[in-house]
């Protein structure tokens, strides 16, 4: 592998990009240069982290949006208990690691993720295994905060007035939010990877269900557009998606689907009309990937691209799978091929993308295939970092991070998980890490603990993931609360 990261321009355009070949990365723009640099981590740091993980027998579960420097080092470690994924798979990976011999779990993500890992480990009988975050401070999330508001409780109180109400809450919320929701309306969690299947299945099993989604407003709007557009497909195509549905049932579902109107992710909020205009003008032939959390303009661009076979809308895992599949197709085609993808999600995704794409390209290095990832952010969306060889790092230096006018697609909360803080946390004795544990909620709601109540919606989601059907207790809960209300 070449040790150099040549700064050759890949293609003209408004945004930074990173071109990937089997053994070479070509960044364009300082943002991409810093991303590329982190993909070649320092060997001594990798050895230090590997030794610490081995000594402490710690498993690490990290989110795709993690700091690229940290992901670069993690991906070079040889310790077997390291897992990077979307939030759904993180908790299952933690259980798997513990069952294979990890003695503690370190979560690299935001606080709802460590709470989720704790709840799932407890449900699997691993209450004694410590779970640690890498900060003594709260690691927030703008969506989780939106769901802590009075407005969200009012939204749920209104939902409870509807017959057969079901609350589908995005996993990006605290255990307390989930508990407060569960006492108001039967609730199950979802992720961006399973939200569409969850809603389809709930509507198939619970006749006339009214679904209340929250707290992500853009995702709620996008889901309504998506179900409206799916209803226009023929019945055969709809049944291929879900055998219990046809255009009539999808139209009825769309009518009874509601969303909260005051919550968004500060990162995906960046992908607004201005970015979309530049993508349209400068990258007319690019494949477009768009996360479900992006604003409507970007979602529409991704939906059109998906319909035309040159893009995908969905979760981080869907985006990764699409880039992998297109790379494989290019490898099987004859002649030189150059693929270009606009990355419609958090820039930390670049680390797993580069790793997977290079694995595929190295299967046959004779093939002339190049994959360019375009970051639709302003090139100047970097912070000065005098200690870095390039003098810059992705994202902003401090504070809340992304601005509506700016163009930074990195999550300021996720970036609170730094390489330094991971090394420091592992070096400390677990007895000194009380402040690093997931938040413990001591209050009771209707005589039940927040942990117990808040875990129920997560366990309902896990039942659906495992069995492909709604948890019977949840379906019963919707019917019981409706009957009670009707009788009253």
Q: C-beta of 367: minimal distance to ligand SF4 in Å?
A: 35
Find the shortest distance in angstroms from Cβ 292 to ligand SF4: 11
List Cβ neighbours of 141 (8 Å cut-off, separation of 6 or more): 110, 111, 112, 172, 265, 413
Q: How far is Cα 405 from Cα 454, in angstroms, rounded to an integer? A: 36
Using alpha carbons, list the distances in angstroms from residue 102 to 97, 207, 221. Answer: 5, 44, 41
Nearer to ligand SF4, 77 or 294 (CB): 294
Q: Which is nearer to ligand SF4, 258 or 268 (CB)?
A: 268
In the complex with ligand SF4, which residue's Cβ is closer, 15 or 65?
65
Query: What is the closest distance, in whole angstroms, from the C-beta atom of residue 260 to ligand SF4 in the complex?
Result: 14
Can you tell me the distance from the alpha carbon of 5 to that of 8, in angstroms, rounded to the nearest whole number? 9
Look at residues 256, 101, 264 and name the one whose alpha carbon lies nearest to residue 164. Answer: 256
Q: Is 443 in a helix, a strand, or coil?
A: coil
> Which lies closer to ligand SF4 via its Cβ, residue 168 or residue 474?
168
Contact 129, 160 (CB under 8 A): no
Residue 172 or 217: the one with the smaller Cβ distance to ligand SF4 is 172
- Min separation Cβ 56 and ligand SF4, Å: 26
Query: Do 193 and 85 contact (CB within 8 A), yes or no?
Result: no
Q: Which residues contact ligand SF4 by CB under 6 A?
A: 65, 110, 141-143, 172, 265-267, 346, 411, 413-414
Residue nearer to ligand SF4 on the CB measure, 174 or 327:
174
Least Cβ distance, residue 135 to ligand SF4 (angstroms): 14
Query: Angle formed by the axes of helices 217-230 and 195-205, to 10°?
Result: 60
> What's the min distance (Å) between Cβ of 168 and ligand SF4?
16
- Which of residues 180 and 402 has its CB atom nearest to ligand SF4 in the complex? 402
Indicate the SS3 state at residue 35.
Answer: helix
User: 382-384 and 392-394: which strand pairing?
Assistant: antiparallel
By beta-carbon proximity to ligand SF4, the closer residue of 111 and 372 is 111
DSSP class of 440: P
- The least distance separating ligand SF4 from the CB of residue 192, rounded to whole angstroms, comes to 9
* Residue 399 DSSP label: T
Q: Exposure pattern of 257-292 as b/e (b: 16+ CB <10 Å)? A: bbbbeebbbbbbbbbbeebbebbeebbeebbbbbbb
> C-beta of 200: minimal distance to ligand SF4 in Å?
23
């Amino acid at each position: 592998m070449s040790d150099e990261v040549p700064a050759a321009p890949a293609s003209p355009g408004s945004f930074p990009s990173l071109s990937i070949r089997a053994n070479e990365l070509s960044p364009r723009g300082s943002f991409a240069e810093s991303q590329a640099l982190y993909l070649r981590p320092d060997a001594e740091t990798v050895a230090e982290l590997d030794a610490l993980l081995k000594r402490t027998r710690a498993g690490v579960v990290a989110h795709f949006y993690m700091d690229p420097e940290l992901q670069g080092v993690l991906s070079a470690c040889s310790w077997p208990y390291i897992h990077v994924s979307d939030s759904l798979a993180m908790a299952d990976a933690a259980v798997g690691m513990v069952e294979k011999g990890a003695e503690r779990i370190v979560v690299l993500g935001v606080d709802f993720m460590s709470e989720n890992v704790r709840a799932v480990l407890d449900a699997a009988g691993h209450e004694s295994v410590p779970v640690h975050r890498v900060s003594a401070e709260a690691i927030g999330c703008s969506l989780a905060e939106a769901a802590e508001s009075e407005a969200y409780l009012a939204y749920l109180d209104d939902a409870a007035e509807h017959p057969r109400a079901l609350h589908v809450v995005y996993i990006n919320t605290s255990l307390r939010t989930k508990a407060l929701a569960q006492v108001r309306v039967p609730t199950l969690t979802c992720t961006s990877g399973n939200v569409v299947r969850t809603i389809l299945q709930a509507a198939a099993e619970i006749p006339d269900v009214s679904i209340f989604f929250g707290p992500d407003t853009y995702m709620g709007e996008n889901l309504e557009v998506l179900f409206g557009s799916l209803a226009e497909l023929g019945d055969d195509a709809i049944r291929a998606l879900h055998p219990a549905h046809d255009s009539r049932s999808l139209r009825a579902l769309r009518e009874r689907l509601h969303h909260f109107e005051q919550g968004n992710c500060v990162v995906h909020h960046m992908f607004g009309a201005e970015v979309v205009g530049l993508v349209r003008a400068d990258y007319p032939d690019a494949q477009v990937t768009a996360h479900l959390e992006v604003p409507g303009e970007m979602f529409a661009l991704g939906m059109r691209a998906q319909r035309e076979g040159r893009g995908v809308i969905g979760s981080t895992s869907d985006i990764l799978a699409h880039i992998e599949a297109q790379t494989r197709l290019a490898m099987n085609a004859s002649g030189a091929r150059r693929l270009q993808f606009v990355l419609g999600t958090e820039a930390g995704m670049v680390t797993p993308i580069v790793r997977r794409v290079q694995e595929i390209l190295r299967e046959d290095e004779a093939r002339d295939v190049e994959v360019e990832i375009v970051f639709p952010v302003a090139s100047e969306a970097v912070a000065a970092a005098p200690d870095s060889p390039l003098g810059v790092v992705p994202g902003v230096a401090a504070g809340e991070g992304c601005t509506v006018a700016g163009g930074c697609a990195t999550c300021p909360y996720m970036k609170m998980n730094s390489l330094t803080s991971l090394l420091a946390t592992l070096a400390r004795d677990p007895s000194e890490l009380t402040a690093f544990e997931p938040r413990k909620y001591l209050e009771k709601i209707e005589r039940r603990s927040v942990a117990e109540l808040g875990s129920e919606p997560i366990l309902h989601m896990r039942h659906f993931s495992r069995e492909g059907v709604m948890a019977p207790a949840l379906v019963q809960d919707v019917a019981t609360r409706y009957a009670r209300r009707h009788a009253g």
